[in-house]
Amino acid sequence: MRCPYCRGGDSRVLDSRTADDGAAIRRRRECQECGKRFTTAETAVLSVSKRSGATEPFSRSKVVSGVRKACQGRPVSDDDFALLAQRVEDALRATGSAEVPAEEVGIAILGPLRELDEVAYLRFASVYRSFESLTDFEAEIALLRSEAQLAAHPDFLDGSTDLDTTDIGTTDLATPSTH
Ligand SMILES: [Zn+2]
């Protein structure tokens, strides 16, 4: 590990400790040539396996270039892209596997991209999930709409109305009466 100050190749580890809940190790080092101190981080390489069987290291910049096209003309900043790529990496690392299939990277992109920009999400999903007709778009848009409605009226979900239970009760009573 070269010293980032003088490019010297000889450094001494002063201290090492785990970070990020054990997902990384950070080492404090001292350059034996210029005496400056710096920190290195060691994390497991997250690999992405492609359909061809080849694997490559996960790359946030590949995630960004993958969604950038879908975000053309949309109000999405470089910070948004960086945060999205970070969220995708976190989600994949949280699965605990050292190697994930390329499709899973695409799936991990869908959620954060939908929160970021719904138009970009539809564009990305249409390519990624190979929408073939307007019906596919309509179904996806209907889903987005219904979820937006639920988000706007969360009281539908808190169980304060027991209409559903009453309905089920009525049906249950009606069934045995047919003999
Ligand atoms: Zn140095």
- Ligand 1: centre distance to CA 16 (Å): 19
3-class DSSP assignment, residue 23: coil
Give the pLDDT mean for 156-173.
47
- Ligand 1: centre distance to CA 5 (Å): 5
pTM of this prediction? 0.66
- Ligand 1: centre distance to CA 13 (Å): 13
pLDDT digit string (tens) for 65-88?
A: 999 999 999 999 999 999 999 999
* Residue 17 confidence (pLDDT) above 50: yes
- Ligand 1: centre distance to CA 28 (Å): 13
Neighbour tally for 128: CB within 10 Å: 18
Give the span between the Cα atoms of 42 and 110, in whole angstroms. 29
Q: What is the DSSP string of 92-131?
A: HHHT--SEEEHHHHHHHHHHHHHHH-HHHHHHHHHHHTT-
Give the pLDDT mean for 134-159.
80
Is 177 or 80 the better-scoring residue by pLDDT?
A: 80
Give the span between the Cα atoms of 69 and 162, in whole angstroms. 46
- Ligand 1: centre distance to CA 59 (Å): 29
Confidence of residue 38 (pLDDT cuts 50, 70, 90): very high
| pLDDT score recorded for residue 155 | 65
- Ligand 1: centre distance to CA 6 (Å): 4
Is 121 or 163 the better-scoring residue by pLDDT?
A: 121
| pLDDT score recorded for residue 156 | 56
State the average pLDDT for the chain.
Answer: 85
* Residue 105 confidence (pLDDT) above 50: yes
